[in-house]
């Protein structure tokens, strides 16, 4: 854990300092002392107004704390309108939707108590396919849907996730057109 923490500390420091520190960068990287990594994570950053973005930039400049902005696709275009903030952006990463195989893996690993790991079982395969169809690989929607599946199963005292359980859970979610 300390190795990764040091790597993250160093990456934050590089961004804060404005780039690589010269020929001794590798030595500096391997000899940094372990300390806590500080990050400020802002979800739905695309909804922030200019004064809030300016406060984040000021906080970053004063403290050097790493800032992670999470938002909808296109957030980088919005941030480009604020050159003082955008000049501090280290990188942008767009998360694509999960493939059906990735969706199955995530569902099986994150919610093992639902027993959705055996695709050889028709009921399980059908339930996973229904989850994949409804969520289109969107992890946030998958998480919300699974919470509803758990609720439906608990209320009805069920032990197996079926396509009907998934559809019932979907009906209680407030989402856009499906």
pLDDT, tens digit, 9 for 90 and up, residues 25-58 = 444 444 444 456 688 888 888 888 888 888 888 8
Bridge pairing between strands 66-69 and 39-42: parallel
pTM of the full predicted structure? 0.59
> Would you say 71 and 103 are in contact if contact means Cβ atoms under 8 Å apart?
no
What's the N-to-C CA distance of the chain in angstroms? 41
Last residue of a domain, one of 22, 56, 86: 86
Helix (H, G, I), strand (E, B) or coil at 24: coil
> Domain tally for the chain?
2
Structure tokens at 97: 């939707």
Burial class (CB in 10 A: 0-12, 13-18, 19+), 5: middle
Q: How many percent of the chain have pLDDT more than 90?
A: 21
Last residue of a domain, one of 86, 121, 138: 86
| Residues 113, 79 share a domain | no
Residue range(s) defining the domain that contains residue 149: 100-171
| Residues 82, 24 share a domain | yes
Last residue of a domain, one of 62, 86, 110: 86
């Amino acid at each position: 854990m300390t190795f990764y923490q040091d790597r993250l500390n160093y990456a934050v420091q590089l961004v804060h300092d404005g780039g690589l520190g010269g020929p001794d960068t590798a030595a500096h990287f391997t000899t940094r002392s372990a300390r806590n990594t500080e990050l400020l994570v802002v979800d739905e950053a695309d909804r922030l107004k200019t004064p809030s973005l300016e406060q984040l930039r000021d906080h970053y400049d004063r403290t050097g704390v790493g800032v992670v902005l999470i938002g909808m696709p296109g957030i980088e275009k919005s941030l480009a309108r604020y050159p003082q903030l955008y000049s501090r952006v280290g990188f942008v990463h767009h998360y694509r939707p999960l493939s059906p195989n990735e969706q199955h893996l995530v569902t099986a690993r994150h919610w093992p108590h639902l027993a959705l790991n055996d695709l050889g079982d028709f009921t399980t395969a059908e339930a996973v396919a229904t989850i994949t169809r409804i969520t289109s690989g969107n992890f946030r929607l998958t998480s919300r849907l699974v919470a509803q599946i758990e609720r439906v199963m608990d209320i009805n005292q069920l032990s197996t996730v079926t396509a009907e359980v998934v559809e019932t859970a979907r009906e209680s979610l407030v989402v856009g057109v499906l």
